[in-house]
Each structure stands twice: as structure tokens, then as C-alpha cells.
């Protein structure tokens, strides 16, 4: 009887350890949100379901503007708390069946499923912007930050994971440029961001967009430092194809 009890305890401990390991593999430690790996798996399943049901889904690519300034001014501990607070606000903007994830550094991606109209996604994107723009009270500081948000809708902007991520990422940079008063050009093919190859000297980029990419690259170390050790194991997505179509 005692031996059976010990066996049950061992099995329970093993089960708890497996559950904890799975959560660590699929969730961001700092914010508690699903991580990139979890998002990609959910996105693949959502695309299959949307295709079978003839429904739409959308991706929102959210990037915090000038997050490096927060690191520089307040330090990483406050920046960590800001990221957690931002994550909570983004999660509060989506429905229970949607996915709000931390994609890496100061980037978040929300997956909106089972949409009858792309206007729903546009409304959520605006809601995310407005909620993040509200002041954050952290460690005695009142911090203001804004976010650039890009949108991609299935199937209009892509039918594969990489296509949708690329389009949402590119649209996010266009949003950043628009709000800084930069001219934008329709149907410009370019690549940008942490895992992209765009550089400020790329002749295919608008000058202001190139400056944004250069500034973004300068802040990568700070943003990735906040992401922590989990970044070292996250999967790298091949996002080499991006065509701006809207």
C-alpha cells in the first residue's frame, strides 16, 4: 500500500513537471502570454479552420514606439514591468477565443479568429492603440508610450503563416511612418525588422522608412535583453517574402 502511494506521488510529480515544462515551452515567462511558438501553432490551425469554413482571420503586429528610450531612462526592471502591463492591455482588447502573444522583445502579435468582416480587426487595432497610449503608472513613474500596429487579413493578404506575418509586419512599419509624417508608397516590396534584411542604405526604401529601420536595429539589443533567455530557444521564421498590397 505504501509502495502504491509512492508510485502515485511519483506519477503526479512527473505529470506536474511535464505540464510546467509544456507551459514554459509555449508561454512567455515575463508576460505570461503565449510565445511565438504557441502563436505559430495556433495560426496554422486557425488558417486550416478558416479555409474549411470560408471565414476570415486577422493578425495584428504591435510594436512599441521608442521602447529603447524607456530602457535608457528607467532601466530594465521598469521596462520589464511596462512590457507586462502592455501585454495585459493587449490581452484585454481581444476575445476569449483569440490569441494575444509576445512575439519577441517589444513586439506582440494578436491572432483574431472567425471574423465575418475585416472591419472587426480594424476596430481591434484602433482599440489596442488607444489602450496602450493611456498612461502607465509603474514604480512611481508615469510613463507614456505609443504603439504602431500592422494588420493582415486572411485570405486577402495571404493564405500562409509567413505571408500573413510578413504583411502585418510591413504594415506596422507603414503605420509607424505615417504617424511620423513620412510619405508612404503603395505596393512597395521591402523587408524590415529584427529578422529581416532591410537596412538604411537600401535604395528600395523611402528615406524616412530607412531611418526607422536603422533606429529599430539600434534598439534590438535592449529589446532582446528584456525578452531574456527564452529568446535563445525561440524558432526563427523565414519571412523573406513581403509584398505591400494595402
Q: Which residues are catalytic?
A: 106
Cell numbers linked to 49: 479552420
User: How many other CB atoms sit within 10 Å of the CB of residue 132?
Assistant: 22
Cα angle 141-147-148, degrees, rounded to a multiple of 5: 165
Cell numbers linked to 18: 511535464
Q: What share of the chain is helix, strand, coil (3-state, %, to 5)?
A: 50, 15, 30
Is 33 in a helix, a strand, or coil? coil
Cell numbers linked to 70: 524607456
In 27-75, which residue ranges form alpha helices assigned H by DSSP? Answer: 36-53, 67-74
As a whole number of angstroms, the distance between CA 45 and CA 154 comes to 13
As a whole number of angstroms, the distance between CA 21 and CA 35 comes to 14
**CB 83 within 8 Å of CB 233:** no
Amino acid at each position: 500500500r505504501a509502495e502504491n502511494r509512492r508510485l502515485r506521488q511519483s506519477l503526479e510529480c512527473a505529470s506536474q513537471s511535464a505540464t510546467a515544462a509544456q507551459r514554459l515551452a509555449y508561454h512567455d515567462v515575463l508576460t505570461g502570454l503565449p510565445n511565438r511558438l504557441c502563436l505559430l501553432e495556433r495560426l496554422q490551425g486557425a488558417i486550416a479552420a478558416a479555409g474549411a469554413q470560408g471565414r476570415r482571420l486577422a493578425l495584428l503586429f504591435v510594436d512599441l514606439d521608442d521602447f529603447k528610450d524607456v530602457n535608457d531612462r528607467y532601466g530594465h526592471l521598469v521596462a520589464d514591468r511596462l512590457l507586462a502591463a502592455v501585454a495585459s492591455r493587449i490581452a484585454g482588447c481581444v476575445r476569449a477565443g483569440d490569441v494575444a502573444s509576445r512575439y519577441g522583445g517589444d513586439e506582440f502579435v494578436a491572432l483574431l479568429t472567425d471574423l465575418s468582416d475585416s472591419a472587426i480587426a480594424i476596430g481591434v487595432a484602433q482599440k489596442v492603440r488607444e489602450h496602450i497610449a493611456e498612461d502607465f503608472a509603474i514604480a512611481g513613474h508615469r510613463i507614456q508610450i505609443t504603439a504602431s500596429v500592422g494588420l493582415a487579413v486572411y485570405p486577402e493578404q495571404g493564405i500562409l503563416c509567413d505571408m500573413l506575418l510578413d504583411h502585418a509586419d510591413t504594415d506596422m512599419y507603414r503605420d509607424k511612418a505615417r504617424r511620423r509624417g513620412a510619405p508612404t508608397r503603395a505596393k512597395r516590396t521591402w523587408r524590415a525588422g529584427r529578422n529581416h534584411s532591410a537596412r538604411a542604405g537600401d535604395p528600395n526604401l523611402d528615406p524616412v522608412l530607412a531611418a526607422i529601420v536603422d533606429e529599430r536595429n539600434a534598439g534590438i539589443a535592449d529589446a532582446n535583453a528584456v525578452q531574456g533567455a527564452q529568446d535563445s530557444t525561440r524558432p526563427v521564421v523565414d519571412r523573406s517574402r513581403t509584398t505591400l498590397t494595402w
